[in-house]
Amino acid sequence: MKIITLNLNGIRAASRKDFFPWLKEQNADYICLQELKAQETDLSPEMKSPYEYNGYFSFAIKKGYSGVGIYTKNEPLKVTKHLGIPELDDEGRYIELEFENLIIISIYLPSGSSGEERQAFKYKVLDKIYKVFEEKLNLGKNIIVCGDFNIAHHERDLKNFKGNKKNSGFLPDEREWLTKLLPKGNGLMFIVSFIPKKARGHIHGGVIGGRLG
């Protein structure tokens, strides 16, 4: 099984940079997307269902903001776009596809870099989504969570970790949240996607923890 996860920094902008021809070459089973920066009416037919893929999306209420999606050739048993958590639902930050033995999630956690109010918002989201992941584990299925977490876990994850110790995305409580989350048990795997500010247009990703049973 091949999974790709990436922060698009705008699906329309990515389309103009030949994202879809590149996607076809990857032949992945699942492609998780973050930061669509679009509404459903903004998507072309290619964006909705490229090649043999079907697209599933959750959009933010605010236009041109956030949004997540998943492309797959497999038909899910269930699609979940809303969790009853306004902080996630209203900003289009979560989508989940459930299959017989697998749940795959694309998530885009908020940044708190704009100030104390937004950082408090971020902590609220972290508390609530942690409980969601715990509940998912009780379903007895393999769970793969792909996303942009807006958190660097270890010092090695940042070029200038010393200069970021007091910045959102590398605060002790955020890093501890990841530390507590990762060893939750068999059946849960996290794959993170991100775009460094100085490398916009380049996609980076990697497994940050978890074990599938």
Provide DSSP, the chain: --EEEEE-S-HHHHHHTTHHHHHHHH--SEEEEE-----GGG--HHHHS-TT-EEEEE--SSTTS--EEEEESSPPSEEE---S-HHHHTTT-EEEEE-SSEEEEEEEPPP-TT-HHHHHHHHHHHHHHHHHHHHHHTTTSEEEEEEE-S---SGGG-TTSGGGTTSTTS-HHHHHHHHHHTTS-BTEEEEEEE--GGGTT--EEEEEEEE--
How many C-beta neighbours within 10 Å does residue 193 have?
A: 23
Is 127 in the active site?
Answer: no
For residue range 125-141, list pLDDT tens digits in order. 999 999 999 898 888 88
Domains and CATH numbers, the chain: 3-211 (3.60.10.10)
For residue range 59-90, list pLDDT tens digits in order. 999 999 999 999 999 999 999 999 999 999 99
pLDDT at 168 over 80: yes
pLDDT at 47 over 90: yes
The pTM score is 0.87
Pairing of strands 142-148, 102-108: parallel
Residue 4, strand partner residues: 31
Q: Which residues have C-beta within 8 Å of that of residue 100, sequence separation ≥ 6?
A: 77
Is 148 in the active site?
Answer: yes
pLDDT at 111 over 90: no
For residue range 142-155, list pLDDT tens digits in order. 999 999 988 887 77
Could you say which of 90, 148, 157, 173 is catalytic?
148
Could you say which of 53, 56, 94, 108 is catalytic?
108
